[in-house]
């Protein structure tokens, strides 16, 4: 019997929605986050959004007063 598998479709990197964040910044962060997934499995749209959100959170945490 064949098993159903979830096929992850590769997408082109979307434009970041956060002002001041570039595609290169998000790409670098995504490659660091998903090092175990790449290059065998391409990044999905959800992966790109998660990477951008995580990057923005870490940038904001770095700027908080200590």
- Digit-coded pLDDT (tens) for 16-40: 999 999 999 999 999 999 998 888 8
Contact 14, 26 (CB under 8 A): no
Cα 49–chain centre separation: 5
Pick the closest to residue 11 from 47, 54, 53, 56 (CA basis): 47
| Maximum distance among all Cα pairs of the chain, rounded to whole angstroms | 58
pTM score above 0.85: no
């Amino acid at each position: 019997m064949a098993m159903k598998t979830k096929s992850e479709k590769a997408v082109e990197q979307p434009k970041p929605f956060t002002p001041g964040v570039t595609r290169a910044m998000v790409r670098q962060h995504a490659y660091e986050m998903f090092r175990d997934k790449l290059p065998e499995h391409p990044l999905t749209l959800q992966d790109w959004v998660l990477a951008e959100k995580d990057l923005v959170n870490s940038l904001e945490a770095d700027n908080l007063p200590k």
